[in-house]
Structure 1
Amino acid sequence: MDRAPEPPRAATPGGVGAGGAAMTRPQITIQNTHSERRRLKMAGRVGSRWWWTLVILPAMAVSACGGSRLTHDDILAAVNGGPLPAGVAQQQSQQGAVSVVPQNGVAPSAPGTSGSGSVSGSGAGNASSVSAGTAAGGGGVHGSGTSGAVAAAGTGPTAARPAGPLAPIVVGNIGNYSGPAGSSLSGAEPMIRLWAQWINARGGIAGHPVQIFTADDGGDPQRSLSLVKDMVEDKHVIAFVGDQIPFTMKSQLAYLHQHNIPLVGGDALDPAWTADSLAFPSGTTFAESVLGMYKTAHQRNLIKLGLVYCVEAPVCSFVHDYTVNGGASRAGEDLVYQSQISLTQPDYTAQCLGAQSAGAQVVFLGMDTNSILRFAASCARQNYHPIYIQSSLAANNALLGNRDLEGFFTASQVFPFMVDNTAATALFHRAVQQYDPSLQLSVASAVAWSAGELLSRAASEVGAVPTTQDILNGLWSMRGETLDGLTPPLTYVKNQPSPPVQCYFLIELKGGRYSSPSGDTYAC
């Protein structure tokens, strides 16, 4: 069986999404899940039985040739109330905190734990943590909740109870959470774990707990493939949900087809999201997002367009080719300047002077969030202040309050993360306030949440033992699905690439704050 190699140790302990060398933050989140709309239906099946979820944080590295971790069968047995496998007590004392989640949804803290959420170990691509308690130590520990609370939002007799002892829905999540794209994408990983906590405490998906393994591939294609193999062959995932893999998607596809494992929602940046039959975008696809930004620029009388795009990622080359081969002109834009850059450049003065000389009023920046900040600073030093546009996944708190970026706008592929005026978006914000109110929200986190909700809708009719085919059948049944307004209309076709998702939500920076001119309404 293929196992991921031992990763380079990160220079900075803790935290996902730090730039620099590739690193892995593999995590497991096991929670008890159950769909709210299934609660009454499943109540008779669940009854008043108590059940427990085992939570383990190994604090030691796991080599490619071995290591100490529970097998999938061990985990499944524990979830279903079986005895702990031999040696687990010893592992618990060596590897980290253990917590349990009783049926009332409240997790008592075990020794060395504080709060509810997810923790990660330092294994080599092998997920080694389960949510329900957060260890207070170091070694890549991620807190994702407030102390003790795992119960669903809501009070009184209508509040959902955690899921019964049905077979878990086992899924994975992989992202370019460190490396060149980390500053833009890292917000997705804590959000998908938070979503798992929320959905599990509300009773799960059709009574099944969701078990989610997360890992950081650092933008390395070979590492990404190794992680996929480990999750499919060792962790037995039946789908990937909310993956953020613009640098590494193509390295996975051949293997995913061998095992018929779908990608349920994700970054939607690579053209493969609309070219591969196992990719199911959960929001606006990239070419359509770029076109939406160009149309918006034209509507705002920003007719002269500049394009600056990176050399590192295939998606950057794609946006260049799309723009010069009709994308700009289709929106009525005049492409007056273009330049390829590196994400590692400390300064972009030459490109700023070139765009300024060409008279570019609006500049598309094909780069990550950190590079956007450096680019805007370089141009401001030349007294050049165009309007900037970029992939919506770069829109996070790092841009807030930056005067050089005033007027920045983007076409978000899912609901604007700052909006809470619908039932679905209010639920998103309520879950964040309940489980991790300090979490910094971004488009990446909204994409992760929407992908989780897409999985929940697709898996609503799973059988007693959830399968990949159950997930695929649920996805293929969707026609114009918006997940109650979280996404533009989504349609999938059996065994065919997903149709492009044309519509988008607008987000902009005004007065140093994010806002959505159209609120929760998408444009097409």
Structure 2
Amino acid sequence: MCVRRSRIGWVAAGAMLAVAMTACGSSNGGTSSSPSSTGSQAKTPTGTPWVIGQIGSFTGPAASTLGEAAPGFEAWVKYTNDHGGIDNHPIKLVQLDDGADPAKSTAAVKQLVEQDKVIAIVDYSLVDSAWADYVKDKGVPVIGAILFNKTFGTNPDFFPVGATFEGIQYGMLAEAAKAGAKTFGFFSVTNTAAAQETIAWYRENTTKLNLGFTSPPLIVTMDYVSPNYTAQCLEAKSQNIAAVYVGAPTTQTLKVYDDCKKQNYNFTHVGNLYQVNDTWLTTPSADGAIIASAVVPIASTLPANQEFVKAMATYAPGVKYGGTAQMNWVAGQLFAAAAKAAKLGDSPTAAGVLDGLYALKGETLGGLAPPLTFVKGKPTTIPCWFTYKVSNGSFVVPPGGDKAQCQPS
């Protein structure tokens, strides 16, 4: 049986430069599988606040995709504090925008660590490689969120909440192959290091992974800003490319879909949760798109995911959201699970959060994530993904789509 989530109304939310908040409210209790579900009795958390930071590229070239990370994580903070905090401790959030500028990002992270004394950082920055070594030296855990960055999966101080870089790329190839595609194209914005890494991965792996592709991938370059992408569509059409992944933010991806449809170029659309929000549901050319998701599909009816949906409606009404907001919510849930495991108490430390993360074994956060286990001193790679589709104005979870699928070892 398929599960659908229809379009909800929203408007673009402005990204914030810096926010510090504590919100207090109701109820206590909870379970490790859904850490912020703390019961129904009203209770204001009275313990020492725990300070965590969020760094993100909320403005800049990928704002149409990354901007919703800020309200998504704010919703988690407000919801958690309004439901008794974590073990009776409220969360204080310091949230900084780096605009995808490496120098600005490094300065912001140093502020979080040295001035704000955060005990963990939630990462949604395009340029986290600029400060990865710094936080590792400082012993502050980074929980993510922006898992197409290769810092997750290569740096042992970065703790992913779902599929890491290769898991997402493999998932998109696998879903294209399941749809019957024998040829694959990657439309890439090439002026970033991440794009170059992705191009190299597809060139090396598309035919090597034994998924049934009969030729190397077609790599088509594109700019962030362009009056149209007609030339790219015609190039792929001329080579009979059956499935295409557009490696670009939401706005540009949907423009490619529109321009290709105008050229009567029909192909299997594959994408990932970072690009997807409700604009896809009102874009006819996106109908039929197959999404590889790092965490459970946004349309899942699992209670842990419905908690997120309800929180967004309550604390971020009118804000657009999709996979980006959801990823930051799940990052908050991972922090909560680690904090509970560590019993942080009134004198929380980054070292304590690390101990809590290492204590988790096969943690799925109530089904939100693939099984999560972290080993001290070793980077964590997660080769598993979830699947959903865009169909007739709804997000649809196919049978088994809310169960993690994993790349064969």
- Decide: shared fold, TM above 0.5: yes
Equivalent of 2:335, from 455, 466, 469? Answer: 455
User: Secondary structure of the residue that 1:274 maps to in structure 2?
Assistant: coil
Deviation of residue 521 (structure 1)? Answer: 2.1
Aligned counterpart, 1:470: 352
Equivalent of 2:144, from 255, 261, 265? Answer: 265
Aligned counterpart, 2:201: 322
Q: What one-letter code is carried by the residue in structure 2 that aligns with 1:37?
A: G
Q: What one-letter code is carried by the residue in structure 2 that aligns with 1:447?
A: M
User: Secondary structure of the residue that 1:390 maps to in structure 2?
Assistant: strand
Equivalent of 1:351, from 232, 235, 240? Answer: 232
Distance of 1:303 and 1:159 partners within structure 2: 55
Aligned counterpart, 1:171: 52
Give me the CA root mean square deviation.
Answer: 2.1
Distance of 1:250 and 1:35 partners within structure 2: 39
User: Secondary structure of the residue that 2:258 maps to in structure 1?
Assistant: helix
Aligned counterpart, 2:321: 441
Distance of 2:315 and 2:258 partners within structure 1: 36
Deviation of residue 384 (structure 1)? Answer: 0.9
Per-residue deviation, residues 234-285 of structure 1 (Å, max 9, x unmatched) = 21111112x211x211011122123111111211111120110110001111
Equivalent of 2:377, from 483, 486, 495? Answer: 495
Aligned counterpart, 2:44: 162
Unaligned runs of 5+ residues in structure 2 are 1-11, 32-36
Using a 3 Å threshold, how does the CA distance of structure 1 residues 464 and 336 change in structure 2: closer, same or farther? closer
Q: Is the aligned partner of 1:203 residue 2:84?
A: yes
Equivalent of 2:253, from 352, 372, 385? Answer: 372
Distance of 2:162 and 2:239 partners within structure 1: 34
Deviation of residue 286 (structure 1)? Answer: 1.9
User: Secondary structure of the residue that 1:515 maps to in structure 2?
Assistant: strand
Tell whether the 8 Å contact from 2:120 to 2:140 is kept in structure 1 after alignment: yes
Distance of 1:495 and 1:431 partners within structure 2: 35
Aligned counterpart, 1:417: 298
User: Secondary structure of the residue that 1:214 maps to in structure 2?
Assistant: strand
Per-residue deviation, residues 88-128 of structure 1 (Å, max 9, x unmatched) = xxxxxxxxxxxxxxxxxxxxxxxxxxxxxxxxxxxxxxxxx
Distance of 2:359 and 2:353 partners within structure 1: 10
Please state which structure has a larger fraction of its residues in strand: 2
Q: Select the structure with the greater relative contact order (CA < 8 A; seq sep ≥ 6).
A: 2
Aligned counterpart, 2:3: none
Q: What does 1:268-283 correspond to in 2, within 5 Å? A: 268-283=147-162
Using a 3 Å threshold, how does the CA distance of structure 1 residues 312 and 159 change in structure 2: closer, same or farther? farther
User: Secondary structure of the residue that 1:273 maps to in structure 2?
Assistant: coil
User: Secondary structure of the residue that 2:20 maps to in structure 1?
Assistant: strand
Q: Is the aligned partner of 1:16 residue 2:8?
A: no
Unaligned runs of 5+ residues in structure 1 are 1-13, 18-23, 40-151
Using a 3 Å threshold, how does the CA distance of structure 1 residues 515 and 297 change in structure 2: closer, same or farther? same
Normalised to the residue count of structure 2, the TM-score between the two structures is 0.89
Q: What does 1:125-164 correspond to in 2, within 5 Å? A: 158-164=40-46
Aligned counterpart, 1:510: 391
Normalised to the residue count of structure 1, the TM-score between the two structures is 0.70
| Structure number with larger C-alpha Rg | 1
Tell whether the 8 Å contact from 1:346 to 1:374 is kept in structure 2 after alignment: no
Equivalent of 2:163, from 266, 281, 284? Answer: 284
Aligned counterpart, 1:28: 20
Per-residue deviation, residues 292-314 of structure 1 (Å, max 9, x unmatched) = 11111111111111111111322
Equivalent of 1:522, from 401, 404, 409? Answer: 404
Q: Is the aligned partner of 1:183 residue 2:64?
A: yes
Using a 3 Å threshold, how does the CA distance of structure 1 residues 180 and 328 change in structure 2: closer, same or farther? farther
Per-residue deviation, residues 394-427 of structure 1 (Å, max 9, x unmatched) = 011222221212211121111211222x221222
Q: What does 1:6-85 correspond to in 2, within 5 Å? A: 15-17=13-15, 25-32=17-24, 36-37=28-29
Using a 3 Å threshold, how does the CA distance of structure 1 residues 481 and 287 change in structure 2: closer, same or farther? same
Tell whether the 8 Å contact from 1:366 to 1:391 is kept in structure 2 after alignment: no
Tell whether the 8 Å contact from 1:416 to 1:506 is kept in structure 2 after alignment: yes
Q: How many residues of Structure 1 are paired with residues of Structure 2 in the alignment?
A: 385
Distance of 1:273 and 1:463 partners within structure 2: 28
Deviation of residue 327 (structure 1)? Answer: 3.8
Aligned counterpart, 1:55: none
Q: What one-letter code is carried by the residue in structure 1 that aligns with 2:14?
A: V
Aligned counterpart, 1:308: 187
In percent, how many aligned pairs have the same letter? 29
User: Secondary structure of the residue that 2:112 maps to in structure 1?
Assistant: helix
User: Secondary structure of the residue that 2:29 maps to in structure 1?
Assistant: helix
Equivalent of 1:480, from 352, 359, 362? Answer: 362
Distance of 1:449 and 1:501 partners within structure 2: 18
Off by >4 Å, runs of 4+ in structure 1:
none
- The answer to which of 333-342 and 227-236 deviates more is 333-342
Using a 3 Å threshold, how does the CA distance of structure 1 residues 213 and 202 change in structure 2: closer, same or farther? same
